[in-house]
């Protein structure tokens, strides 16, 4: 748009952009594709909630002098402390901590159910099965790519997809001097995180 925002200016800007030969357009998604992506949105929400509960549990126990190791792999130590009646915790706080532990178990069950759904979809989807042959790409990443990414023919080369997902560096080039910064992080956050986790696993 040139200046000001109104319906007429919006329509003029859309017509102007549509006539540009290098303009990139967003491919519309079908209801089926949106429904397939719902499992990842729901899973991300539950994983964030589980992380919040773990952090709250660790923080409350630290206030009572019990410091736990960070990371989901060490949650069982926090749960054992809450469920052990011999641990020196205030009795008035123990029921609240047990409620957090129960919430944690419920979230684990729901996330496990969604993981089974993702694994089943990976077996049934031919594209997902092909993607799982890539090192570092498991069922979750494969089904996420099939559900969230645009069709492959949308991109001319692999770097275009990397730019779309936000894994290319920011450019601050001027006067013929090339200056690249950190990754742009512009694009689908879920896919970017899954790809980074998979690549890190392969490197390690």
The secondary structure of residue 174, as a DSSP letter, is: B
**pTM for the model:** 0.75
- Which tens digit of pLDDT belongs to each residue from 86-129? 888 888 888 999 999 999 999 999 999 999 998 998 898 888 89
Cα separation, 127 vs 164, whole angstroms: 20
Cα angle 143, 147, 148; round to 5? 115
- Which tens digit of pLDDT belongs to each residue from 22-60? 887 777 777 877 887 888 889 889 999 999 999 999 999
Q: Where are the domains of the chain?
A: 31-125
Cβ(170)–Cβ(185) under 8 Å? no
Rounded to the nearest 5 percent, the helix, strand and coil shares of the chain are 65, 5, 30
Cβ(149)–Cβ(127) under 8 Å? no
Find the helix or strand (DSSP H, E) in which 96 lies.
helix 94-124
Backbone angles phi, psi at 49, to 5 degrees: -65, -40
């Amino acid at each position: 748009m040139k200046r000001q925002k109104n319906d007429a200016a919006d329509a003029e800007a859309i017509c102007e952009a549509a006539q540009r030969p290098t303009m990139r357009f967003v491919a519309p998604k079908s209801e089926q594709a949106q429904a397939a992506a719902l499992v990842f949105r729901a899973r991300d929400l539950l994983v964030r909630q589980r992380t919040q509960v773990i952090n709250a549990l660790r923080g409350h126990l630290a206030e009572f002098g019990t410091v736990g190791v960070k990371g989901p792999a060490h949650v069982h130590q926090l749960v054992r402390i809450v469920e052990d009646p011999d641990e020196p915790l205030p009795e008035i706080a123990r029921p609240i901590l047990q409620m957090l532990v129960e919430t944690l178990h419920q979230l684990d069950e729901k996330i496990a159910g969604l993981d089974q759904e993702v694994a089943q979809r990976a077996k049934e989807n031919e594209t997902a099965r092909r993607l799982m042959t890539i090192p570092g790409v498991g069922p979750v990443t494969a089904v996420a790519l099939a559900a969230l990414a645009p069709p492959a023919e949308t991109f001319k080369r692999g770097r275009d997809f990397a730019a779309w997902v936000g894994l290319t560096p920011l450019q601050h080039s001027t006067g013929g001097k090339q200056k690249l910064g950190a990754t742009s992080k512009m694009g689908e956050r879920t896919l970017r995180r899954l790809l980074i986790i998979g690549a890190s696993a392969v490197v390690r």
